[in-house]
Amino acid sequence: MRKENITVRALKRYGGFNKKYFPLRFFRILFECFSPYFNLWMSAEIVTALYEKQEKRVIFLLITITLFGNLFVHTMGALLGHLVNLEFKRLCDKEAAAFNQKTVSLDYSKLEDPKIRVLRRKIKENAFVNGYGVNCMRTSVEGILRSVISLAFAGVLFAEMLTRIASAEFEWLTWILLALMVVFTALAILAKNAVQEKEAGVFKRLNDWMLKENQLGQGHSLNGMDARVYKQQPILTRLEMKMNREHLALFSWARWRTWLHITPHILLSKIPEICAYTIVCFYCVRNIFPIGSVIKYVGYLYQFPMEILSIFYFRAELRNNEQFLVPYLEYLNLPNDMYQGTLAVEKRSDKKYDVEFRNVSFKYAGSDKYALKNVNMTFKVGERLAVVGMNGSGKTTFIKLMCRLYDPTEGEIYMNDFNIRKYDYRQYLDLFSVVFQDFSLLALPLGNNVSSSETWDAERAERCLRGVGLGERYDAMPKGLETPITKHFDDEGVNVSGGEAQKIALARALYRDAPFIILDEPTAALDPIAEAEIYSKFDEIVGDKTAIYISHRLSSCRFCDKIAVFDKGELVQLGSHEELLADQNGKYYELWTAQAQYYTK
Ligand code: ADP
């Protein structure tokens, strides 16, 4: 990424979210900048007219122009301000939507990649904790625009003043003072530029520290119960005080540094101001400038170097901000590498889909360890396959590969004799109804959750809810399928328990009616009675679908046709419960006897 183009590229992308915003902002700034110059000008004219004892008619006219001019400028300014705020809101909404859209459309493997997670977190933290990124870019660009427009207005007055000076007798002092103004403005800019890098370093240090503090704060987010039971408050309070002390020390250091850096620049920039006063007073005393010019010329002569300095300040701010735009652009431009496939998935009425894993191995991004190693397995439609093994043995990874959330690092997965990569990805996903261990529900009505869509077939949704044993709870819901399942957005919403949420996730899987149903620890959050109820209905729930079912509770796997036993990423056994139990040296026997002892003792 070429550095000099970063801001321009980010600006184009950002401005593209709402093409009306920047033109409106330009006009708003134009009115904002015009207002003080107009008032300076008119005040000077009124003072001069009063001093020169002009006719009342003239003075009245000047006052009327000032009042109506201000009325117009302020009314237009307020109207433009309102429009700008409206368009800014639209821009922010679109920008946030584009960011979220990027996240949801990203290959799952990338979404989970630790490096990309860090990138996403950095963008958000820089924006929310310190305001860097696109927001800083916008305010800096607007700052530059404001200064350029102000300079243009000041230029008009400056030209008027130079014409007056040029028409008067030649005075060395004037030109020396004007030259001093230019020289000291330039020196003030140089002084500011000289410390720019040091200043950026100070802010970077402060910024990094605040990001660390924010992460620590999140890491220590208190679960009130643990903190109380383990009496953690004193440790946490001490930690908080230590962090506050560190923050204060760093903050004070940063402020002192900034003060030291900025002082030469402030002193140097005062000299042009003194020169401006001297020139204007000099000509006023000699009646070359009208008396009102003191107000007019001093105001803008002072403003002139200030605006130039401000342009340099915002330019440096833009440069400093580039480091925060890099992750932003990098994230938005992340390509999706996963091959999407083109082969149409056959919609078979007999639901005959055979799956085969051939020498499949897999490593997660950023990990050198194989999560799955050389897995070979075939299973046929209509079979009930249980997948068992200790924590971390690769069961969930096996499911994720099968659903193509990840592609294997080595080996291939086939469905009906075609590599699953060849199938149209969206169609392929439609083959699976999955209840993941860490499933998530939407903060929307029950109907949306069960159908995963904006509309739903009420009869089918109700059947699925009753099928998973949620009938009674459903009957008690005040608005039936319209009932939101949180209270976040609607007081009439209901809060569901972990077990009920898991049942809703099960009902969602059933509603989809896909040929494969995959349940990863489907009853982990259920009480024993609800669990027994689900098991007793399991055949009914699954029907003629192919079911893959991960469980820690081996007793619940007995009814499956085949049981796949995973150990340290490898498929170590495959067979029926009886076959596996017969092998007393096998992993299944070990797991079974370890669990059984709790029930038999
Ligand atoms: P199981 O479902 O049997 O508990 P998993 O399939 O979740 O096991 O995990 C298999 C291995 O892969 C474990 O060592 C786990 O730490 C690792 N793993 C799981 N998910 C990720 C991930 N997103 N990134 C890196 N490693 C992971």
What is the per-residue pLDDT across 55-64, written as a single tens digit (0 to 9) for each?
999 999 999 9
Q: What is the pLDDT of residues 65-76, one digit of tens each?
A: 999 999 999 999
Statement: residue 3 has pLDDT above 60 = no
pTM, 2 dp: 0.76
Q: Please list every protein residue whose CB sits less than 6 Å from any atom of ligand 1.
A: 112, 364, 367, 371, 389, 391-397
Average pLDDT rounded to a whole number, residues 446-461 = 93
What mean pLDDT, rounded, does the chain reach? 86
**CA torsion through residues 183, 188, 194, 200, sign:** negative
| Least confident segment among 14-23, 132-141, 298-307, 324-333 | 298-307
Average pLDDT rounded to a whole number, residues 593-597 = 75
The atom number, within ligand 1, closest to the CA of 390 reads: 3
Q: What is the pLDDT of residues 120-172, one digit of tens each?
A: 988 888 887 678 899 999 999 999 999 999 999 888 888 888 888 888 887 88
Statement: residue 221 has pLDDT above 60 = no
Ligand 1 center to 394 CA (angstroms): 6
Share of the chain above pLDDT 70, in %: 93
Specify the pLDDT at position 508. 93
Specify the pLDDT at position 601. 45
Specify the pLDDT at position 262. 86
For residue 573, name the pLDDT band (cuts at 50, 70, 90). Answer: very high
Lateral strand order in the sheet of 516-520: 432-435, 516-520, 546-550, 384-389, 562-567, 570-575
For residue 350, name the pLDDT band (cuts at 50, 70, 90). Answer: low
Specify the pLDDT at position 312. 85
539 or 31, which is more confident: 31
Q: Candidates 116, 363, 367: which one to mutate for ligand 1, based on the most atoms within 8 Å of Cβ?
A: 367
Specify the pLDDT at position 188. 87
Ligand 1 center to 567 CA (angstroms): 12
Average pLDDT rounded to a whole number, residues 226-250 = 83
Own/partner pairs for 466-469, CB < 8 Å, 24+ apart? 467/507, 467/510, 467/537, 467/540, 467/541, 468/503, 468/506, 468/507, 468/510, 468/534, 468/537, 468/541, 469/503, 469/530, 469/533, 469/534, 469/537
Average pLDDT rounded to a whole number, residues 39-59 = 92
Ligand 1 center to 396 CA (angstroms): 7
Q: Candidates 364, 368, 369: which one to mutate for ligand 1, based on the most atoms within 8 Å of Cβ?
A: 364
The atom number, within ligand 1, closest to the CA of 520 reads: 2
Statement: residue 344 has pLDDT above 90 = no
Q: How far apart are CA 381 and CA 408, in angstroms?
A: 22
First to last CA, the chain: 66
425, with CB counted inside 10 A (0-12, 13-18, 19+), is: middle
Statement: residue 419 has pLDDT above 70 = yes
Share of the chain above pLDDT 90, in %: 39
Ligand 1 center to 330 CA (angstroms): 27
Ligand 1 center to 333 CA (angstroms): 28
Specify the pLDDT at position 243. 85
Minimal-distance CA residue to ligand 1 atom 27? 364
Statement: residue 600 has pLDDT above 60 = no
Statement: residue 222 has pLDDT above 60 = no
Q: Which amino acid is at 179?
A: A
209 or 361, which is more confident: 361
Minimal-distance CA residue to ligand 1 atom 1? 392
Ligand 1 center to 370 CA (angstroms): 9
Statement: residue 416 has pLDDT above 90 = no
Q: Candidates 375, 397, 401: which one to mutate for ligand 1, based on the most atoms within 8 Å of Cβ?
A: 397
Statement: residue 4 has pLDDT above 70 = no
